[in-house]
Structures are given as C-alpha cells and as structure tokens.
Amino acid sequence: MYLVVCFIVVTFCYTSTISATVEVLRPRGVALSKKLFYNPDQDFRCIDGSNSIPFQFVNDDYCDCEDGSDEPGTPACSNALFHCINSGHISSDIPSSRVNDNICDCCDGSDEFNSTADCINICIELGRQAKEEQLKQRELFEQGFALWQQYSAQGKQLKENNKLQVENLKSVEVEEERIKVDKEAVKNNAEEKEKAALDVYKTAKDEQMKKHEEEEMLKDQEKEKKKAEEAFNELDINQDKVLTYQEIQEFQKFDSDKDGIVSEQEAKFFLHMKEFMLLEEFVSIGWMIMKPVFESDKEPITEPPLKEESEKETDEPDINEAETAEENDDEPEEESFESYDEDEALLNDDADKPPVFPPKEEVEESKPQEPVYDEETQQLVDAANEARRLHKEAVDKVEKTREEIRRLQADIEADFGKNEEFAVLKGQCFDFEDRYYTYRFCPFDKASQIDKSGGSDVSLGKWGSWIGPEENKYSKMKYENGQMCWNGPTRSVTVLLQCGLENKLLSSSEPNRCEYLFEFSTPSLCSLQLNMPNMHQHEEL
C-alpha cells in the first residue's frame, strides 16, 4: 500500500512516500537517490558545488544553483529535473519546466501540485497493468527458456554426434584408402597385360596394312602390264610379236608435230630411238613413254574411280552404299582412317572407356578387315575395364568420405552460440512474404529474395558472421556477398534476432538499396540471463 503525504512548511513542500513499512521525507521533486543532499538542518550546498544557500531557499521558486539542484520541485531552473515518485508504478524524472504547466506528466499528478489541472493519480492502475504485462513477459521467457534449454541440449548432442561420426569416418577412410591402393595395383596390373595384348594387336594390324598395300601395288602393276600387252598387240599390226617403228607410223596419234605424217623420228621416239621392241622390253620401258599418247584418244583418259572400286571390291555386297558413304566424306578414305589415333586410344587411361577402335563396318568399307580381338585379348581388355571401374569406385568412395568429414568438421568448428543453442537452426529455412517478394532465410547458409511474379531467385547473401555487440553478440547476424546490385554493392542482410516461442521470420525491409534487414524470432535467444525481466525494477521504496 502506498500513500503520498505533502507537508507545507513555510516555503517548503516535503514529500513522504509511505508504504506499509517505509516513510521517507524529502523536498518535493527529489529522487530517493538524491535525498542525502537535502538536509533541512544544514545550509543547502548545490550538488555541483556551485553555491551554498540557506535550506529555506530550496524550492523557493528562485534558481540559486547553476545545476538547478536547489529547485527540484518548481519550474524556476530551466535545467532542473522533477522526480515523479509515482508510487505503485514506475518513478520517473521530467524536466522541471513541466511542473505546474497544467499538463499531468506524472501518473501520481505530483507535477501539478499548484495548477488548475485536475490530475488523478492513476499510478496504481498503471502499475497493475505493467505488472500484468511483466508477468506475461516472464511467462513467455520462462517458456522460451525451456525451449532454449532443449535447443541447447540438442545442439550439444549434435556436436557430440558429429565428433563421433568424424571418428568413425576417419577409420572408414583408412580402410577405403587401403582398398583404393589395392584396386589401383589390380588396375595397373590389368592395364599392363591389356597394353601388351593390344601392342600385339597393333603390330598385327600394321602388318596387315602393309601386306594390303603391297597387294594393291602388285595389282596396279598387273593392270599396267595388261594394258601394255593390249597396246602392244594393237600396235603389232602383223602380230609377229615384234613392234617396229614402221608399225607405229601407221597410227596418226603418234604424229607429235601434227603435220599429218608420223615421221620415222616421231615413231622411234616411242621405242627409245630403236628400230623395234619385243613385248618384254615394251612392257618394262616402252609403255611408260607411250602410254599418255596411246591413251589420249581413249575415253576416259584415266580409269574412273568407280570402275576401280567395283573391281577392287567385287565381293562387297552393297556397292551403292559404299559409294554414298565415300561421296559424303570430304576427306580421302586413307586420311579418315589415319585420323583415328590408335596410340591415343591405347594409352587412354580413362577408367570408364575401353580403348576406342573404329567401328567394324567402317573398317570393312575402307580397309581390309581389321583383326578383331581374339578371345584372350578381349578378356584382358574386359578385365582392365572392370579393374578401372572398381578403382574409380574406390576413389569416389574415399573422396565422398573425406567430403563428409570436412562437412562435419566445419559444423563442429562453427559458432552456434555459447551453449550450441543455435545449431538446430542450421538446415532449416524460413519465409516472409511482402507484396512483391518472398524473402527466404536459411540460418548459417544463405538469404534470398524470390520475385512473386517469377524470375530466378536473387541471392541476398551467404552466411558471414555474428555481429551483435560484445555483451549480446548472438543478437545479430550478417549474410554477405549476395548478387551484385545494379551499379552498386553486392547485396547483404543484417538479421536482428529476438527471443520468441517459435522460429519465425517476422519482417524484411531494405533500409538502404540492396542492404536488407530481417527480424527473426527464435527460442535460441531466450536465455534467462539475457531476457528475464526484473519484477522489482519499478518499485521505489
């Protein structure tokens, strides 16, 4: 129970606050904490030491002290403060200029002791409401704190689990590394055998190619011989197996100077200036010099390639198809085959790919049939492929384990609060929607802005650091290096955290262009030491 008693003694007004047990007398407008400066038995010394006056001059509505301390209960000093006792509610100080200004400033009405304002003391009611509010807050913080404790326990457990997992994974990594080394040895061994077998294959192929070329050359020579013999027979008019220059003179095509007569000289020229030639000599040296002139009146001058192809590949079932394939190919056949780099294929270490050889049909069309792998070689190639596959599998496994260890280590070393109370927020995302955007906040990861009318998400930043003040470090987060702002900085977000019973993104704003501000409520910030309101802070005895 609170009572306000005012004693008027000549120019002094004393205020006493009486609760059930306490009564404190002091001049009007003086805060309890300053009562000791006001002793009615002594002269009053200004609190700043600027003057000393008889005690009767305190609150005499005349300013004697520079700091205004002699007039706490009147508006005489412009810099003085009037203390509202406000028994039952919160004491407060108001500028003393507001004393007796006909406006009720103190809830107990004590600032209008000499005015026409009819102030009613509403402190008890306000105090009751404030206490109710305090109780609600207290309840909130108690519930919040219970959740905070759960979060903290979960966070600590997570950290322990992560540490255990890292330990386990490290043993797994050792074992996987061992398997990897084994598989590598198996692979190397298989590849050695494969290479040896493929070297044999390559040698066989080279030999076959060489043989084919030799055969082709022989065929050409044969053809030329045949042509020479046919020419000889045609020119040997009397068929006596001796080709004389006179016989050559019978053929107008040998009239080199086009004077209408094949002269002796002109005819002998084709016989190397001899009188005659026998077949053998003609085939070996005569035909060479005569051929261009002899064939000049034949059509076509050179044999058409198609004829040659069809002659060569008489056993080819679909000549037209082969021709079409050749027409479509800009490169000469020989070159297209050469462009296939077998060495590269043989040395190819890519585990997934067996050595690449030209498709069988292609080989058949362009060249004599390639030697196909014999069963033993094929088995070695297959074994090497399988060894490469298993080795790659082992490499991938150990890499995956290492990646997992790195991820867990990062979580173990991360700052999730003094009591790990923020750890549970990692891996969750929270949305806030305004008219145009959905803002997404994923603690310890990223923040983004999603345009409701479509388009891709805009990164507002990636997790940076805690930036709260020293005494409340975990009240603010920074997310930085988001998408570049047009003609400006990269986007960033400051997140203000507050204690709340649920994790919720409460608001988003953009105080400066591309600098965003989120408000986020979470039980993670409901630690009692920080938040519990003091139930007695308003009471002045």
Cβ-based neighbours of 179, under 8 Å, separated by 6 or more:
394, 397
Burial class from Cβ neighbours inside 10 Å (0-12, 13-18, 19+) for residue 193 reads: middle
Q: Could you give the CA distance from residue 439 to residue 504 in angstroms, rounded to a whole number?
A: 12
Query: In whole angstroms, how close is the CB of 79 to ligand MAN at the nearest point?
Result: 46
List 404, 510, 515, 519, residue binding ligand MAN (CB under 6 A): 510
Site for ligand MAN in 466-485 (CB under 6 A): 485
Distances (CA, A) of 15 to 6, 28, 268: 5, 5, 155
Using CB under 6 A, pick the residue from 124, 346, 412, 458 that binds ligand MAN. Answer: 458
Identified binder of ligand MAN from the candidate list 486, 529, 534, 536, rule CB under 6 A: 486
> What's the closest the beta carbon of residue 509 comes to ligand MAN, in angstroms?
10
Alpha helices in 367-466 (DSSP H): 375-413
**Cβ-contact 94, 49 below 8 angstroms:** no
Closest to ligand MAN by CB, 90 vs 458, is 458
Q: Which is nearer to ligand MAN, 93 or 510 (CB)?
A: 510
Residues 184-213 that bind ligand MAN (CB under 6 A): none
Q: Which is nearer to ligand MAN, 311 or 434 (CB)?
A: 434
Here the tokens at position 63 are 């300013």
CB of 476 to ligand MAN, least distance (A): 21
Report how far apart, in Å, the C-alpha atoms of 474 and of each of 158, 353, 424, 505, 522 are: 19, 53, 15, 16, 12
Give 39's contacts (C-beta < 8 A, 6+ positions apart): 55
Minimum gap (Å) between residue 450 Cβ and ligand MAN: 10
514 counts as binding ligand MAN under rule CB under 6 A: yes
| 515 binds ligand MAN, rule: CB under 6 A | no
3-class SS of residue 193: helix
Residue 449 in the binding site for ligand MAN (CB under 6 A): yes
Instruction: State in angstroms the smallest separation of the CB of 505 from ligand MAN.
Output: 16
Q: How far is the CB of 421 from ligand MAN (least distance, A)?
A: 31
Give the residue from 1, 49, 53, 66 showing the smallest Cα distance to 27.
53
Closest CB to ligand MAN among 300 and 511? 511
The site that binds ligand MAN (CB under 6 A) totals a number of residues, namely: 7
Q: Which helix (H) or strand (E) holds 37?
A: none
Read off φ and ψ for residue 476, nearest 5 degrees: -145, 140
- Using the rule CB under 6 A, is 362 a contact of ligand MAN? no
The residue sitting closest to ligand MAN, measured at its beta carbon, is: 486
Q: Which is nearer to ligand MAN, 514 or 526 (CB)?
A: 514
Is residue 363 part of the contact set for ligand MAN (CB under 6 A)? no
- Choose the stretch contacting ligand MAN; rule: CB under 6 A; options: 76-84, 206-214, 468-476, 510-518: 510-518
Tell me how long the chain is: 541
Give the Cα-Cα-Cα angle 428, 431, 432 (nearest 5 degrees): 150
Restricting to residues 372-431, which ones interact with ligand MAN according to CB under 6 A? none
Phi, psi torsion values for 41, nearest 5 degrees: -85, -5
Stretch that binds ligand MAN, among 128-136, 163-171, 212-220, 509-517 (CB under 6 A): 509-517
Positions touching ligand MAN (CB under 6 A) are: 449, 458, 485-486, 510, 513-514
